[in-house]
Amino acid sequence: MSELIFRLKKIVALTAIVSLWSLVLTPFVLAADTGDVTATVTVKNIAITVSDGSIAYGSVAAGGTKSTLSGEANDMQTVTNSGNVEEDFNIKGFNVSSGCSWTLAATQGSEQYFHKFCNDTDQDCSTPPTSYTALTTNYQSLDTNIVTSDSVDFQLQIGVPSSTACTSEATVTVTVQAVDST
């Protein structure tokens, strides 16, 4: 009896499988057609890295100057296009307001300093102030049309005020900006 039940179960199972398979094989006529539009988009990523991003000019006598050239601070900076579009690099400086109060200018003076930059990738920066441009508090072009992953080296030179009441360490920040050049 149990053998009979087992065989009947097998028959039922087999029938179910055959039925399902029949459904699979049933020719469905799909009254539809499709077409595709292959579309792509890439979001622009405008990004840079500055290496190493830190300069320690050390002690500079009043009215003196110091550059990042190898004979002096030896700390050339490198800006790299780390985005996915061609970029223009701009650069600007700041007035010093924390601790000391120095004004960024083209020449040195009392409580007035200059900070100059030079594109060492495209120019000869070894004889400052030749090829050096004084930073302002507005962006000036450092370089243009830098493709992805390309870099620009630049040197800086600082000229501390001819006289100052400040004897503590002054922070003289420089910002490099990348903009879409496309």
Partner 1 sequence: MIFPTNIYCILKKMKLKKIRKIFLIILLVFSWLFSSRPVLWQNPRIPPEIKKAKASAAYDAVSESHTGTTGSASQDSFSWTHTPVQTPRGVLVFVNTIGSSDLSTSVTYGGVSMNRVSGSTATDSAGEPGTVTAWFLGSGIPTGAQTVTVNRTNNATVMYAVCITITGESDTTIVGTPVLLQGDGTYTVQAVDSGSQTVQRFAAGYSGGGSVLVAGTGSTSTGASGQIDYGNYTFTTVFEKGRGSGSRDVGFSYATTEDRAAVHLAVAATVNNPPSLTVSQPDGTEDTIYVGQSYNITYTLSDAEDIATVDFYYDANDSGLDGTAITGCQDQGEGEGVTCSWNTTGMTPGSYYVYGIATDGINDSVNDYSSGVITIQAVSISITVFDGNVAYGMMAKNSSKTTLSSDMPPSGDMQTINYDTNVSVNINIKGYDASGGGCTWTLASSNGNDQYVHQFCNETDGNCSSPPTSYTALTTGYQTLKSGVSGVGSVDFHLRLTTPTESSCYGQQSVNVTVQAVQP
Shortest gap between Cβ of 35 and partner 1 (angstroms)? 4
Nearer to partner 1, 26 or 167 (CB): 26
Nearer to partner 1, 84 or 151 (CB): 84
Shortest gap between Cβ of 76 and partner 1 (angstroms)? 29
The neighbour count for residue 168, using CB atoms within 10 Å, is 7
Residue type, 50: V
Across-strand partners of 90?
Answer: 141, 177
Nearer to partner 1, 27 or 58 (CB): 27
Shortest gap between Cβ of 30 and partner 1 (angstroms)? 9
The residue among 47, 86, 77 whose CA lies nearest residue 153 is 77
Shortest gap between Cβ of 6 and partner 1 (angstroms)? 14
Q: Which residues of 125-138 are buried (b: 16+ CB within 10 A; e: fewer)?
A: beebeebbebbbee
Give residue 12's region: left, alpha or beta (phi > 0; psi -120 to 50): alpha
Nearer to partner 1, 34 or 168 (CB): 34
Structure tokens at 158: 């600082």
Shortest gap between Cβ of 123 and partner 1 (angstroms)? 30
The residue among 128, 58, 120 whose CA lies nearest residue 89 is 120
Binding site for partner 1 (CB under 8 A): 4, 26-29, 31-45, 83-85, 180, 182
8 A C-beta contact, residue 85 and residue 182: yes
Nearer to partner 1, 82 or 151 (CB): 82
